[in-house]
Amino acid sequence: MIPHPIQVLAEALAGEQAAVLATVVAVTGASPAKAGAQIVLRADGTTAGTAGGGRLEAAILASAREAMQDGRPRLVHYKLTEEGADAIGVLCGGDVQAFIQPYAPPPKLVVVGGGHIGRPLKAMGEAAGFAVTVVDVEPGRADVPGLEAIALTRDSYVVLITTDHVSDEAAMRIVLRSPARYIGMIGSRAKCRTIVEHLRADGYSAEDLARVYAPIGLDLGGPTPGEIAVAILAEIVAVRRGGTAIAHARAAKSQASQAV
């Protein structure tokens, strides 16, 4: 039995995979697709369902791939002619509109170390729409098995707040091998600089190390665990959404590090 596109979409999301649902919402004149036809594009490029086949389906899938990249829904018009605005190079003569809706699993926030900052950060992260995982570590160990078991993606945000520099450095080596969008490390400037120097000596590039936000968080001035958690989450949201606070924060941190 061929699964329905909606079932395939649900399975993709349950497996934390992005997908795009394209639905034909209006048809005028001759068309290989009828209103209500649906096709799902998975992140791996495979599809389920049909939107009429041929060039029309190819054009709809091209729109779906664009939506997969930018995450924005769109209503797209396709003219089933060889020439003219929105033409797709066929002779049917009809007009089709399709609604293209991208879906993605929630962004992943991984808190390595937990503790008095990790607890409020977990609660705040979940309230902000993140799927939060807290990874416990054993102080002094040069590995973090719990972190290695997590599949980090481009939409993953990792916070390193362990109690010792050995664990932080071990976690950093793992995370820098991933495409995680945000890597933040707590600690003094001296500690952060020492760990970065260790990594640089071991061959990590300047581009790799530039991904690290350290010391972590926007400078909000609050010293309590809850306030520090707010500062960390604020920085993560700014990175994810492209907020201007990041440019100002990075410039300030760079100036401060040069002054030390």
What are 28-73's pLDDT values in tens digits? 999 999 999 999 999 999 999 999 889 999 999 999 999 998 889 9
Q: Which residue has the tokens 């994810």?
A: 240
d(CA 34, CA 22): 13
Amino acid letter for position 161: I
The dihedral through the CA atoms of 31, 33, 36, 39 has a sign that is negative
The per-residue pLDDT for 60 is 96
User: Quick check: 16 and 59 in contact, CB under 8 A?
Assistant: no
Largest CA distance in the chain: 71
Peptide bond preceding 120: is omega within 30 degrees of 0, i.e. cis? Answer: no
φ, ψ of residue 128 to 5 degrees: the values are -85, 0
pLDDT at 75 over 70: yes
pLDDT at 164 over 90: no
Q: Which sequence spans correspond to the domains of the chain?
A: 5-103, 108-259
User: Residues 94-114: what's their mean pLDDT?
Assistant: 92
The DSSP letter of residue 87 is B
Q: Is this model's pTM higher than 0.85 or not?
A: no
pLDDT at 1 over 50: yes
**Token pair of 76, please?**
């797209």
Higher pLDDT, 254 or 188: 188
- The class (CATH top level) of 108-259 is alpha beta
d(CA 226, CA 125): 12
Q: Which residue has the tokens 């260790």?
A: 198
d(CA 42, CA 59): 16
The per-residue pLDDT for 197 is 87
User: Quick check: 138 and 114 in contact, CB under 8 A?
Assistant: no
pLDDT at 192 over 60: yes
The per-residue pLDDT for 93 is 85
Higher pLDDT, 126 or 248: 126
